[in-house]
Amino acid sequence: GSRPWLKGRNRTGQNVPSMARVRARASLKGFSLVGLAAALCAFFFGSPVESFAMLQPSEAAPQETPEMSRFRVGDRVKARVPMRISHHGRGYFNEGGGYGVPEHQRDEEEEAEERERLPQVVEGGSEGYVVGILPAGEWANRPPGWKGPARPGVMVNWDDDNYPIDVTEEMFLTEIEEESLSRLHIRARKLKWRKPKY
């Protein structure tokens, strides 16, 4: 039941490398290949290959994700200036636009009369709540007529029922801090023993 090949000799008495020696040689060859690859990278690219362990603490630390918008869902906002409503007064979601409805089931004259009665502009000073943020990464979903570089949009539900939900520019809005739900929730988290008052 003995295994002489594990002791360094075979049955004929000749020296045979043990498994430990074979593994050690394989490991040395592997380290040699890694070292050669690092040297070639340093030679061709002009700088040594940096691993995560070689990075400085400031470089290895995760970076803070930039904010999508300076507004948050639940903020109370006010329109600084009059703003045109998207889709000819139907808002961002084109409420009541009838797209997708077969033409034989639509009355174009009635729709035209209804469109004329819709408000086309949100008056300056109108107030509402932020109900969503359209980040700059979703620029393809911007309201019609928006041009220029990609930038976030603020979805507002206006207090006036005559105004539909629409996406507006950040620069056209101002926050009413004392009435913002997001501010109340932040205070509630800081003071857990108190409940927010709406």
DSSP 64-107: PPPPS-SS-TT-EEEESS-EEPHHHHTTTTTTT--TTS-GGG--
Edge-to-edge, what's the strand order for the sheet holding 173-175?
Answer: 166-168, 153-158, 127-134, 76-79, 173-175
Is a pLDDT exceeding 90 seen at residue 54? no
Report helix, strand or coil for 57: helix
> Of 2-6, 25-29, 38-42, 151-155, which gets the smallest average pLDDT?
2-6
Residues 178 and 184: their CA atoms lie apart, in Å, by 8
The gap between the terminal CA atoms of the chain, to the nearest Å, is 85
Q: Is the dihedral of CA 83, 75, 93, 169 positive or negative?
A: positive
- DSSP element (H, E) containing 112: helix 108-117
Predicted local confidence at residue 15, as pLDDT = 56
pLDDT level of residue 198 (50, 70, 90 thresholds): low
Q: Do the Cβ atoms of 120 and 161 come closer than 8 Å?
A: no
Predicted local confidence at residue 133, as pLDDT = 95
Predicted local confidence at residue 7, as pLDDT = 47
Predicted local confidence at residue 36, as pLDDT = 76
Name, in order, each residue with C-beta under 8 angstroms of 185's C-beta and a sequence gap of 6 or more.
74, 196
Place of tokens 């077969």: 102
CA nearest neighbour of 91 among 172, 171, 163, 170: 163
Higher pLDDT, 39 or 110: 110
Is a pLDDT exceeding 90 seen at residue 142? yes
The Cα-based distances of 16 to 26, 27, 32, 119 in angstroms read: 16, 19, 24, 94
Structure tokens given for 53: 């362990």
Question: Percent of the chain, pLDDT > 90?
Answer: 41
Q: 131 φ, ψ to 5°?
A: -115, 0
Q: 176 φ, ψ to 5°?
A: -100, 95
Is a pLDDT exceeding 60 seen at residue 111? yes
Across residues 40-63, what is the average pLDDT?
55
Kindly report the average pLDDT of the chain as a whole number: 77
Across residues 91-96, what is the average pLDDT?
92
